[in-house]
Amino acid sequence: MKWQIRRCNKCREYTLNYICPRCKTETETPIPPKFSLHDKYARYRIEKLKIHEKNNENQHEDKQKQS
Ligand SMILES: [Zn+2]
């Protein structure tokens, strides 16, 4: 059995307990966010990373030329 994050609907507190430690209300498992949204940001990060790597390569070449 794995631990899953749960959330209290009353005070919106995230907890691993089945009962909210604040208001003693039964907590529930929040619906996981859509994966498409994550993919969008992941792709954006990858694009940025590629550009960053390219810049680093160029800088490295410049240094070699100078020395
Ligand atoms: Zn609560």
The token pair that represents 57 in the structure block: 């390569």
Distance 18 CA to ligand 1 centre (A): 11
* 39 and 59 belong to one structural domain: yes
Low-confidence ranges of the chain (pLDDT < 70): 1-2, 31-41, 58-67
Number of domains in the chain: 2
What's the chain's average pLDDT? 77
pLDDT of residue 39: 65
Cα of 34 from ligand 1 centre, angstroms? 25
Domain span at 22: 1-32
* Cα 48 from Cα 60, distance rounded (Å): 18
Ligand 1 centroid to Cα of residue 22, in Å, is 5
Per the CB < 8 A criterion, the answer to whether 8 and 15 are in contact is yes
Same domain membership, residue 37 and residue 59? yes
Q: Which pairing describes strands 6-7 and 14-15: parallel, antiparallel, or unpaired?
A: antiparallel
The answer to whether residues 2 and 21 belong to one domain is: yes
Write the pLDDT tens digit of every residue in 14-31: 999 999 999 999 999 876
